[in-house]
Structure 1
Amino acid sequence: MDTELTHNLAKLLSGGGWMFHILAFIFAFLGSIAGGYFGAYGNKRGELRAIQDDFEKVKSQLQETTRLTTAIQTEITKGVWVEQQRWELRRDLYTALLKNLSEAKYTLSQVIKAETREFKGSDEERDNFTNDMLERNRIASQEIENLIHHTGVLFLSSEALETINTFLNAEKLRIKQLEDSGADYAEISAEATSWSLHLDNEIRAAYIAYDEIVNVAKADLQING
């Protein structure tokens, strides 16, 4: 404001007339507007700052929640993966055991048929067939024993292990039964009924072991039917 304008304004104000009241009213009005504006502006800035602070808090909480959720999901996924691997390992064990027990049942049944003269062919052909079946049974039994020693001991119940061992030890059971009857080892080897008794014991043990593994597998793998 220049000197002349200031002088005239002061003169008007000092005159105390109606012009003074108008100017006073104008200045008061402008002052109230300015005060209201700046007051509202200040309040609005305070509200915005409060909102910003709340937003930052919510953002921080959301980030922490996301982090925890991700960590939980990772642990759950890891646990599911581990359990799935265990399930597949048990499934493969049961499948392999049943496959080899089925082989044992089949080969022993074929040997029994050949020994009871149901085989159609010469004695030499029958002997070759019997030896082939017994070799297949030996391989299946060895595979079962390997499965038990490597994996079965980790997952199978004591009852299931005992049942399978009964099959694997069928020859020992045959000898024990003959020993209990009072025969000595030489008599066992020469006993006419010892071979057929061995076959009967072993195939019976194979069927029992097979049924036991089926029941254990269904319960463990939660297979219905």
Structure 2
Amino acid sequence: MRIDVLGVGFDNLTLEEAVEAGMDLVRAPGAHYVVTPNPEIVEVCRADPAVMDIVNHADLVLADGVGVVKGAAMLGTPLKGKVPGIEFAMGLMGKLAKEGRSIYLLGAKPGVAELAGKRLGEQYPGLKIAGTHDGYFKEDAPVVEAIRESGADVVLVCLGAPKQEKWMAKNGTATGAHLLCGLGGSLDVFAGVVERAPKFWCDHGLEWFYRLLKEPRRIGRMMKLPLFLVHVKQEKGKRR
């Protein structure tokens, strides 16, 4: 049973449990997709019923960020903890490498996915990089066909929300992959183009603030966090 946070149903899993659940999907027949909503994405879902539907129909809905965890606790339905998308992907790639499986990297600026693939191949011996493609494409069909021809088991779809969620829901089956994961700007981190927040900031739920200090232009997006908390308080009042 999922934990409802403002209409988005989150799977109540630890990071380790989420990775195992992801591997179960990789081994299962058919196509599946994972979404990793943070408070900003929850607000997008509230504003767009179509996106809400896509997110709630994902095979795994993981709480990316301490804001979602705090929101769930405020509503009296606590989650086990946050499951950052990038950490989920790292755990998944470790398992994929052990089984000799392959991934396709989709998204980011030209050249970033290729660099990420090179670095990930070195970091996870045994992991096969089936192919890469930047996020600057106009037609889905050629990209979908390239993924299908690559035979990738997993696709990391890093197109930004909600574009990546819509893309996975629309094209997942046609790619031939067993699992697609929407991971925002993760390829920039994997490529070393963007530095992830140090462990202290991540452990204390301050990764968002670190990113804001590094990229002040994100202030507009970050303002959705207090809005999210206001909506959680309103929802809490309704549930009493």
- State the TM-score bracket (shorter-chain normalisation): under 0.3
> Which protein is richer in strand relative to its size?
2
Using structure 2 for the length normalisation, give the TM-score: 0.21
Structure of greater Rg: 1
